[in-house]
Amino acid sequence: MRNDDRYLSPHQARPRPPTSFEDLLGDAIERAYAAGIHDLPGLVASLNRTGPSADNGQPWTEASYTELMARLGN
């Protein structure tokens, strides 16, 4: 067995395919990181500038972002 065979691909651990919203959110987070934004307030501000809106249709807050990430992580 090769050493890298011990690890799961992150996609193998998913219980379901990502939703369109999750894909858009992931793309927006990647763009923010690529722009050098690595702190929560900056990330929330970037999401509010570029979208998508929070899953409830409202602007992002630090609390709504961390709550969604916790929910998606389960």
Query: Would 8 be classed as within a structural domain?
Result: no
- Give a yes or no: residue 18 inside a domain: no
Which range of residues forms the domain containing residue 60? 38-74
For residue 71, is it within any domain? yes
Sign of the alpha-carbon dihedral angle for 16, 17, 22, 28: positive
Looking at residue 23, what is its pLDDT? Answer: 94
Higher-confidence residue of 5 and 74: namely: 74
Residue 5 covered by a domain: no
- The angle subtended at Cα 67 by Cα 16 and Cα 54, nearest 5°, is 80
Burial class (CB in 10 A: 0-12, 13-18, 19+), 64: middle
- According to the model, what pLDDT value does residue 2 have? 54
Q: Is residue 13 part of a domain?
A: no
The per-residue pLDDT for range 3-49, each reduced to its tens digit, is 556 766 666 666 788 899 999 999 999 999 999 999 999 999 999 99
Asked if residue 74 belongs to a domain, the reply is yes
pLDDT of residue 59: 97
Total domains present in the chain:
1
Cα gap 65→73, rounded to integer Å: 12
Q: What is this structure's pTM?
A: 0.79
Domain-embedded: residue 7: no
Q: What pLDDT score does 60 carry? A: 98
- Report yes or no on 27 lying in a domain: no
